[in-house]
């Protein structure tokens, strides 16, 4: 890796950390500009696919800090007793919802690199009395989890923020048990973007997006099989779409 690339990646991560620290403290999510697509709170999470019944007992401050674009929980088919890893867990919304589905015999681990988000998530975990959820500080390119230790990986509009997505895919494959599944909502590039990609556009889930072909190929290169797009819809910028992606780590006989 060249020194220039290392510096660029460091700058991207620093910018992302700063923006999402502000989101944790009440700023509008950077995802999606200023239109109705960026509604916050209950209206915002319902717009991206969460039902009122599902989010009914989640603290309002968690919903206010949500920066997702989809509902990976709705497509992950979580089962009691499973261990779930949420990449870029933010204020903890998907972790809290997953905890209900895996039950007391299951476990949920949220990983985030932003101190303000981790503090907010932990505070609300305590409020909700969830003993089967924990939050860890770390980066997605080097996840603080053991090999083959989780059954399901979820994420919501976070992998596109990484400057090294192939490292994220390799780490996800490492962390999954054989027979595990990867189900994430993310932004994909569908055409040429008008700009060259500023740090602001990286933080807005625009400049870091890659094409569907590159996403699928990156998953395959990491070892995943059966990668597919489960659903897709337009994103807020031309040349982008939000999608739910699934892939499997097959059990080998």
3-state secondary structure 83-119: EEEEECCCCCHHHHHHHHHHCCCCEEEEEECCHHHHH
Q: Can you tell me the mean pLDDT for 164-192?
A: 96
Mapped onto helix, strand or coil, the DSSP state of residue 210 is strand
Global pTM reads: 0.91
Are residues 20 and 88 in contact, defined by beta-carbon separation less than 8 angstroms? no
Q: Per-residue pLDDT for 111 more than 90?
A: yes
| Region of residue 81 (left: phi > 0; alpha: psi -120 to 50; beta: else) | left
Higher pLDDT, 6 or 132: 132
The two tokens of residue 195 are: 């700009």
Q: Looking at residue 225, what is its pLDDT? A: 97
Q: How confident is the model at residue 27 (pLDDT cuts 50, 70, 90)?
A: low
Answer yes or no: are the C-beta atoms of 85 and 150 closer than 8 Å: yes
Residue 217 has pLDDT above 60, yes or no: yes
Res. 37 pLDDT band, cuts 50 70 90? very low
4: pLDDT strictly greater than 70: no
Average pLDDT over residues 206-233: 95
Number of H helices, E strands in the chain: 10, 8
Contact 223, 171 (CB under 8 A): no
How far is it, in rounded angstroms, from Cα 115 to Cα 143? 16
Structure tokens at 191: 């055409």
Band of residue 161 on the pLDDT scale cut at 50, 70, 90: very high
State the DSSP H helix or E strand holding residue 247, giving kind and residue range, or none if neither: strand 240-248
Where residue 205 falls (left for φ over 0; alpha for ψ -120 to 50; beta otherwise) is left
CA–CA dist 70, 80 (Å, integer): 23
**Contact 86/155 with Cβ under 8 angstroms?**
yes
pLDDT top residue among 5 and 24: 24
Q: Look up the CATH architecture of domain 3-248.
A: 3-Layer(aba) Sandwich (3.40)
pLDDT tens for each residue of 66-92: 778 889 999 999 999 999 999 999 999
pLDDT at 31: 56
- The stretch 154-174 carries a mean pLDDT of 96
Output the pLDDT for position 205.
87
58: confidence class by pLDDT, cuts 50, 70, 90: confident
What values do phi and psi take at 35, rounded to 5?
Answer: -85, -175
| Whole-number percent of the chain with pLDDT over 70 | 88
pLDDT at residue 34, rounded to an integer? 44
From 54-63, 102-111, 153-162, 212-221, the region with the lowest mean pLDDT: 54-63
- Band of residue 48 on the pLDDT scale cut at 50, 70, 90: confident
Backbone angles phi, psi at 58, to 5 degrees: -85, 130
pLDDT for res 36: 39
What tokens were used for 96? 């809290």
Helix (H, G, I), strand (E, B) or coil at 104: coil
**What single-letter DSSP state applies at residue 139?**
B
């Amino acid at each position: 890796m060249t020194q220039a690339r290392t510096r660029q990646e460091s700058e991207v991560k620093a910018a992302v950390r700063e923006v999402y620290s502000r989101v944790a403290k009440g700023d509008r999510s950077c995802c999606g500009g200023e239109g109705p697509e960026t509604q916050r709170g209950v209206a915002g999470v319902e717009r991206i696919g969460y039902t009122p019944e599902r989010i009914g007992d989640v603290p309002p401050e968690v919903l206010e800090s949500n920066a997702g674009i989809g509902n990976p929980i709705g497509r992950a088919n979580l089962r009691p007793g499973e261990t779930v890893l949420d990449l870029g867990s933010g204020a903890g919304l998907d972790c809290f919802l997953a905890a209900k589905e895996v039950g007391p015999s299951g476990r949920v681990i949220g990983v985030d690199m932003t101190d303000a988000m981790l503090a907010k998530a932990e505070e609300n975990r305590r409020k909700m009395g969830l003993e089967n959820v924990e939050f860890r500080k770390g980066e997605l390119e080097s996840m603080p989890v053991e090999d083959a230790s989780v059954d399901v990986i979820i994420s919501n509009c976070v992998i596109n923020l990484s400057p090294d997505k192939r490292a994220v895919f390799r780490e996800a494959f490492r962390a999954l048990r054989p027979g595990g599944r990867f189900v994430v909502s993310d932004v994909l590039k569908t055409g040429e973007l008008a700009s060259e990609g500023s740090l602001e556009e990286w933080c807005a889930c625009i400049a870091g997006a890659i094409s569907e072909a590159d996403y699928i190929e990156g998953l395959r290169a990491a070892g995943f099989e059966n990668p597919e797009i489960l659903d897709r819809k337009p994103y807020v910028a031309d040349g982008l779409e939000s999608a739910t992606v699934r892939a499997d780590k097959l059990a080998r006989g």
